[in-house]
């Protein structure tokens, strides 16, 4: 009797989720979702596990959310995997984090190919360990011709560093005569950023209850909708992502202006 009740409850939940997905897909979906994946360490601590266990569990969620975003029809998913500040963490934890791309992409690359997902990375790849670079370069090369969801990892990434590098490159191009100061605009500046081939994020999600950007895409997030949740990243699931999208779809994005009825 209990098993039947549980099975019936699961079927009801599944039906409700399916209906919510169908409703969400009828509305305007965010084209580009960016996620600050936070809370792996706290998830592990709550279970008396080492911090690396939380990172490993978090890697499984990356797979789950990538699949779901792809099924929904999201065009770009950017995941903040490792910041330029994360090098300050304990050596063993950093070494473990640098092995995760190799493990994730090594095991998941065939499915990414099957899903038509294209892997990209933004950040300073040259400062990464050789084994990490090999795994990332292999994934980017093998998925380069896929034209489905773009899975963009922000790895060894810091937005202030990105902006400083962009300014340096613009100054260099001005000094070499490639451009003049008169042509420097926001649009031109965009072309010097690591995201020059991507649209700006429509929706930013941060997990674990923290309400800050932590040096993530400071330029690109100027008009992005933010959604924060207390859920720790290893507990984040398809329903959480759907809830964030549903919240996004209720918002009126004005980009500093007014719309229709507000003008009158």
The residues annotated with a catalytic role in the active site are: 38, 86
**CA-CA-CA-CA torsion for 95, 137, 86, 192, nearest 10 degrees?**
160
**Is 206 known as a binding-site position?**
yes
Residue in the structure block whose two tokens are 């991507």: 198
Please give the full DSSP string across 62-101, using - where no structure is assigned.
Answer: HHHHHHHHHHHT-SEEEEEEEETTGGGS-HHHHHHHHHHH
41 is in an annotated binding site: yes
Distance CA 245, CA 27 (A): 10
Is 38 annotated as ligand-binding? yes
Choose among 133, 118, 153: nearest CA to 36: 153
Consult the annotation and say whether 87 binds a ligand.
yes
Instruction: Tell whether 89 is in a known binding site.
Output: yes
Coil, strand or helix at 206: strand
20 annotated binding-site participant: no
Identify the three-state secondary structure at position 249. helix
**Which residues, in sequence order, are CB contacts of 69 under 8 Å at separation 6+?**
33, 77, 149, 241
Q: Is 200 annotated as a binding residue?
A: no
210 marked ligand binding residue: no
Cα separation, 29 vs 25, in Å, equals 7
Tell whether residue 42 is among the known ligand binding residues: yes
Q: What is the C-alpha separation between 205 and 66, in angstroms, rounded?
A: 14
Contact between residue 102 and residue 129 where contact means Cβ atoms under 8 Å apart: no
Q: Which residues, other chains included, contact 181 with Cβ-Cβ below 8 Å and sequence gap of 6+?
A: 174
Binding residues for Mg(2+): 38, 225
Binding residues: 38-43, 51, 55, 83-85, 87, 89, 206, 212-214, 225
Binding residues for substrate: 39-43, 51, 55, 83-85, 87, 89, 206, 212-214
């Amino acid at each position: 009797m209990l098993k039947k009740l549980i099975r019936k409850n699961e079927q009801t939940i599944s039906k409700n989720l399916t209906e919510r997905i169908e409703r969400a897909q009828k509305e305007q979906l965010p084209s580009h979702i960016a996620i600050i994946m936070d809370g792996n360490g706290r998830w592990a601590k709550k279970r008396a596990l080492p911090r690396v266990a939380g990172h490993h569990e978090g890697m499984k969620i990356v797979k789950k959310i990538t699949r779901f975003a792809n099924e929904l029809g999201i065009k770009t998913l950017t995941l903040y995997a490792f910041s330029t500040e994360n090098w300050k963490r304990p050596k063993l934890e950093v070494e473990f984090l640098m092995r995760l791309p190799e493990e994730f992409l090594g095991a998941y690359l065939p499915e990414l190919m099957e899903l038509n997902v294209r892997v990209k990375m933004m950040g300073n790849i040259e400062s990464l360990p050789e084994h990490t670079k090999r795994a990332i370069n292999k994934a980017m090369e093998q998925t380069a011709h896929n034209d489905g969801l773009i899975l963009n990892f922000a790895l060894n990434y810091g937005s202030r560093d990105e902006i400083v590098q962009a300014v340096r490159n613009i100054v260099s191009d001005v000094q070499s005569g490639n451009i003049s100061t008169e042509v420097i605009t926001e649009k031109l500046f965009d072309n010097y950023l690591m995201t020059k081939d991507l649209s700006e994020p429509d929706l930013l999600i941060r997990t674990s209850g923290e309400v800050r950007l932590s040096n993530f895409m400071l330029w690109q997030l100027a008009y992005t909708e933010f959604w924060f949740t207390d859920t720790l990243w290893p507990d984040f699931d398809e329903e959480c992502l759907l809830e964030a999208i549903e919240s996004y779809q209720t918002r009126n994005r004005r980009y500093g202006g007014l719309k229709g009825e507000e003008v009158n």
